[in-house]
Chain A
Amino acid sequence: MSVAQVKKPKPDGNNFSGNILAWFGTTLGQILVSILVPALTFLVLWQGYLFLQKANAPQIVQVLVAIIWGVGGVALLYLVTNWLVMKLPKRISKVLQPFVFVGPAVVIMGWFLAIPVLRSLIASFKNYLGTQWVGFDNYKFAFTDPRMLETFRNNLLWLIFGTAFSVGLGLLIATLADRTKAEVLYKSIIFTPMAISFVGAGVIWKFIYTYKGTGVGIQEIGLLNAIVTGLGGTPQPWLSLPPWNNFFLIIIMIWLQTGYAMVILSSAIKGVPSELLEAARIDGATEIKAFFSVIVPYIKGTLLTVTTTIVIFSLKTFDIVRVMTGGNNGTNVIANEFYLQSFTYTDAGKASAIAIVLLLLVTPVIVNNVRQYNQSRRGF
């Protein structure tokens, strides 16, 4: 690994460039350059920003400029800051350099996640404009208002049924596929919806649930109603039938998330030592018994992780509900109510309280993650 090739080739011959380099060598020149380079960098980035803000160029040009400006800008900023820090006396640069590396990440995470936790907490005790303290009023809304109670009930349905079916089906498919020759094909098919956006999935399933109404000669174009009428039933407007419409939305989540559970569980199942399974079979255990007494205990840890991930997902569910029903007809969920409060009713106080409720719901996971991280660090 030749890392040491950092020395730049010395300029030689040309007198003119030699002179310029000599001038760069003086202290004054160095200071000037140290100011000029960041100033120039800033100017270039600023010009790019202005161009992007009010460009009349064709969209494709704008997009290209945006990409180059964004990616190049970040790289340039690192280069220039590092170059500046290296110009300082060695003692100082050694202390400062780690901050060149971790600084931007820490600042951005602080701005976008850590500090907002505090800001939302403060806002949750103020009125809708953030101008007056209102005590626990917003939390009273968040925990007792019928609207919120409905969202809690629905999120609980999502959590229980969405998680149970995603994990259960994922485990079933992973176990069954493990015994077949076409394993890769089966798994790819189940996994594919992971690439589809919730909005796209919303269109896909809205089409399945679509309803034309009753009348002579009407042919249902939604698959579900076509099946129902084919079996002699009457078509239904599935998405406006509380409380069942919640389940029709949850099916979409199961369709999307089973692949995730399946892939993670599948690799855990492959890690089960075959001797253990053989031993169980020789002892006369049926396949089903072997599954519950050998495989499930062995992959317990993974099962827990997958379940937690999907539980968090179900708590934060938003896009599906937003696109399919907008939260109407008894399908509202916490994240959608948050959206409505912040952007439709512009009540920053209530919205913040709901966001804090969401945070509280995932707090056990946060505590667990931190505890595990601290343990693993001590393990080294």
Chain B
Amino acid sequence: MAKHSQKTAKKTATFWTNFILIVICVIWLIPILGILITSFRPSEDIFKSGWWNVFPHKQNVEVQRIVLPESVNLDGPFEILGKTATFDEFRNGITLDNGQIITWYGNKRTRTAIVSENRWVGFTTNLTLKNYKDVIGGKTISYKNAEGQTITRTGNNLGGAFLNSLAVTIPGTIIPILIAAFAAFGFAWLEFPGRNIVFTIIVALLVVPLQIALVPILKDYVNMGLNGTFLGIWLAHAGFGLPLATYLLFNYIGTIPRELLESAYIDGASNFTIFTNLILPLSVPALASFAIFQFLWLWNDYLVALVFLGEKNQTVTIAVARLVGEKGQDWHLMTSAAFVSMILPLLVFLGLQRYFVRGMMAGSVKG
């Protein structure tokens, strides 16, 4: 009997554990779901009703419009569909015996009452790809705003920004990894004066806020004509990413067995060949972990791109942020733009989560 009750207790515990987790997960997902659904809704619909209205729900649906003839005096009590009441009462809504509701439409001059019924509405919403088409292209677009007016303006060319982001992130990921791998090998296996001091400085640089560098480096860039160029932002990202990359790869490369390298040296291999033929292939897991880390960080970066690229060669984060700043109510564009900006990192992240987690664990040493 005791065993049985213990089993039930355990079952209840499992139930509550799962229950709490499901609630938290739902809370975590709803924000993303909200903009995902919104990004597929026509602009007028977005302004009229919340995104959750795409799901089946109970709603007052208009079934009939009644226009009262001029002969009816609205100042005293009057009758609609067998109900007699004053204007104010009609304006607040009167429920009929069959469950339908009469509400006055607008002010007295409209002379109109709306009969509506509270009924279930299914998946009736229109969904469209127009928002994505508008926001990705750079051409002239037109849409309806909250007041139903048609607005025409230039698109946001998020497609171009997407390409720019690729041009920033791909070399911006590979270049520092390459440089860091060379350096990590040098620090781990080669003897040279000042090795320890320099590496200690690198450890100190791990958490230095990059704000410290923005003003001086921007000055250099303006002098050198690097401002707004891809080369400039690659170098900047390399500079800010190198301490962590070097540190992580140093830790990894330092664990490669000494005998392996010694036998290669005995075979007459040079440092360079050992590095390219032995160290690099062996370090692939560490390189991959850091690559994903760096890729996500660069793709999602806003500050560095804002300072060194600006609106010339704008990346997706800058394009989305500009959209938010300039067209703060255009939810159909903002949501689809946000989704375009999120899609690649989400895919990379979900596909390579294991590597990412491994890199993050190693990186958490940096505190």
Interface residues, chain A, with chain B CB atoms under 8 Å away: 1, 3-4, 6, 49, 52-53, 59-60, 62-63, 66-67, 70-71, 74-75, 78, 82, 86, 95, 97-102, 104-106, 108-109, 111-117, 119-120, 123, 169, 173, 176-177, 179-180, 182, 186, 188-200, 202-208, 210, 219-223, 226, 255, 260, 263-264, 267, 287, 302, 305-306, 308-309, 312, 315-316, 318-319, 322-323, 326, 335, 338-339, 342-343, 348, 351-352, 354-356, 358-359, 362, 365-366, 368-370, 373-374, 377
Q: Which residue of A lies closest to B317 (CB)?
A: A199
**Pair B303/A6 contact, Cβ less than 8 Å:** no
**Pair B192/A102 contact, Cβ less than 8 Å:** yes
**Pair B240/A113 contact, Cβ less than 8 Å:** yes
Least Cβ distance of A90 to chain B in Å? 11
**Pair A370/B215 contact, Cβ less than 8 Å:** no
When each residue 264-295 of chain B gets 1 if its CB lies under 8 Å from chain A and 0 otherwise, what string results? Answer: 10011111111101100000000000000000
Query: Of A63, A101, A210, which contacts B190 at CB under 8 A?
Result: A101
**Pair A70/B171 contact, Cβ less than 8 Å:** yes
In the bound complex, how far is the Cα of B205 from the Cα of A114, in angstroms?
A: 7
Complex contacts, A106 vs chain B, CB 8 Å: 183, 198
Binds A, one of B43-51, B94-102, B122-130: B43-51
Interface CB pairs A-B, < 8 A, 21: A3-B269, A63-B164, A102-B198, A109-B205, A112-B239, A115-B216, A173-B24, A176-B20, A192-B346, A195-B300, A195-B346, A199-B321, A200-B341, A202-B324, A205-B31, A219-B48, A221-B46, A221-B49, A223-B30, A316-B211, A351-B215
Query: Of B50, B179, B214, B364, which contacts A105 at CB under 8 A?
Result: B179
Answer yes or no: B187 CB below 8 A from chain A CBs. Answer: yes
Binds A, one of B67-75, B147-155, B226-234: B226-234
**Pair A186/B21 contact, Cβ less than 8 Å:** yes
Answer yes or no: B350 CB below 8 A from chain A CBs. Answer: yes
Contacts A113-B205, A120-B212, A191-B353; A99 near B192 (Cβ below 8 A) = yes
Complex contacts, B167 vs chain A, CB 8 Å: 62-63, 66-67
Complex contacts, B179 vs chain A, CB 8 Å: 74, 104-105, 108
In order of increasing CB-CB distance, the 6 nearest A-B pairs are A112-B239, A101-B186, A70-B171, A197-B300, A105-B183, A195-B349
In the bound complex, how far is the Cα of B320 from the Cα of A203, in angstroms?
A: 8
Interface residues, chain B, with chain A CB atoms under 8 Å away: 13-14, 17-18, 20-21, 24-25, 28-32, 34-35, 38, 46-52, 160, 163-164, 166-167, 170-171, 174-175, 178-180, 182-183, 185-187, 190-192, 196, 198, 200-217, 220, 225, 229-231, 234-236, 238-240, 242-243, 246, 260, 263-264, 267-275, 277-278, 296, 299-303, 307, 317, 320-321, 324-325, 331, 334-335, 337-338, 341-342, 345-346, 348-350, 353, 357, 360-361, 364-367
**Pair A192/B349 contact, Cβ less than 8 Å:** yes
**Pair B213/A108 contact, Cβ less than 8 Å:** no
Query: Of A3, A71, A177, which contacts B21 at CB under 8 A?
Result: A177
Q: Which residue of A lies closest to B208 (CB)?
A: A113
Least Cβ distance of B312 to chain A in Å? 11
**Pair A119/B205 contact, Cβ less than 8 Å:** no
Complex contacts, A309 vs chain B, CB 8 Å: 364, 366-367
In the bound complex, how far is the Cα of B230 from the Cα of A322, in angstroms?
A: 24
**Pair A203/B303 contact, Cβ less than 8 Å:** no
Count of inter-chain pairs, beta carbons less than 8 A: 344
* Most chain A beta-carbon neighbours within 10 Å: one of B18, B166, B179, B212: B212
Contacts A119-B216, A190-B28, A195-B349; A111 near B164 (Cβ below 8 A) = no
Least Cβ distance of B223 to chain A in Å? 13
**Pair B164/A206 contact, Cβ less than 8 Å:** no
Q: Which residue of B lies closest to A111 (CB)?
A: B239
Least Cβ distance of A41 to chain B in Å? 16
**Pair A263/B360 contact, Cβ less than 8 Å:** yes
Complex contacts, B17 vs chain A, CB 8 Å: 176, 179-180
11 additional contacts (CB under 8 A) given A117-B208, A123-B216:
A70-B231, A98-B191, A104-B183, A180-B18, A189-B28, A197-B345, A198-B300, A264-B361, A287-B13, A343-B307, A366-B206
Query: Of A95, A120, A188, which contacts B216 at CB under 8 A?
Result: A120
Least Cβ distance of B251 to chain A in Å? 10
The majority secondary structure among interface residues of chain A is helix
Complex contacts, B164 vs chain A, CB 8 Å: 59, 63
Q: Which residue of B lies closest to A195 (CB)?
A: B349
**Pair B34/A366 contact, Cβ less than 8 Å:** no
**Pair B34/A223 contact, Cβ less than 8 Å:** yes
In the bound complex, how far is the Cα of B325 from the Cα of A71, in angstroms?
A: 34
Complex contacts, A194 vs chain B, CB 8 Å: 296, 349
Complex contacts, B321 vs chain A, CB 8 Å: 199, 202, 322-323
Complex contacts, A365 vs chain B, CB 8 Å: 207, 367
Query: Of A173, A208, A319, A352, which contacts B215 at CB under 8 A?
Result: A352
* Most chain A beta-carbon neighbours within 10 Å: one of B14, B216, B220, B301: B216
Complex contacts, B231 vs chain A, CB 8 Å: 49, 52, 70
* Most chain B beta-carbon neighbours within 10 Å: one of A67, A108, A123, A302: A108
Complex contacts, B25 vs chain A, CB 8 Å: 186, 189-190
**Pair B171/A117 contact, Cβ less than 8 Å:** no
Complex contacts, B225 vs chain A, CB 8 Å: 53
Complex contacts, A169 vs chain B, CB 8 Å: 24
Least Cβ distance of B36 to chain A in Å? 10
In the bound complex, how far is the Cα of B171 from the Cα of A202, in angstroms?
A: 27
Contacts A105-B183, A207-B335, A221-B331; A173 near B239 (Cβ below 8 A) = no
**Pair A98/B269 contact, Cβ less than 8 Å:** no
Q: Which residue of B lies closest to A65 (CB)?
A: B167
Complex contacts, B214 vs chain A, CB 8 Å: 342, 355
Complex contacts, A173 vs chain B, CB 8 Å: 21, 24
In the bound complex, how far is the Cα of B342 from the Cα of A177, in angstroms?
A: 26
Q: Which residue of A lies closest to B103 (CB)?
A: A217
Query: Of A112, A115, A189, A206, which contacts B324 at CB under 8 A?
Result: A206
In the bound complex, how far is the Cα of B334 from the Cα of A196, in angstroms?
A: 15
In the bound complex, how far is the Cα of B49 from the Cα of A70, in angstroms?
A: 48
Query: Of A179, A220, A358, A359, which contacts B50 at CB under 8 A?
Result: A220
**Pair B35/A203 contact, Cβ less than 8 Å:** yes
In the bound complex, how far is the Cα of B213 from the Cα of A247, in angstroms?
A: 30
**Pair B204/A370 contact, Cβ less than 8 Å:** yes
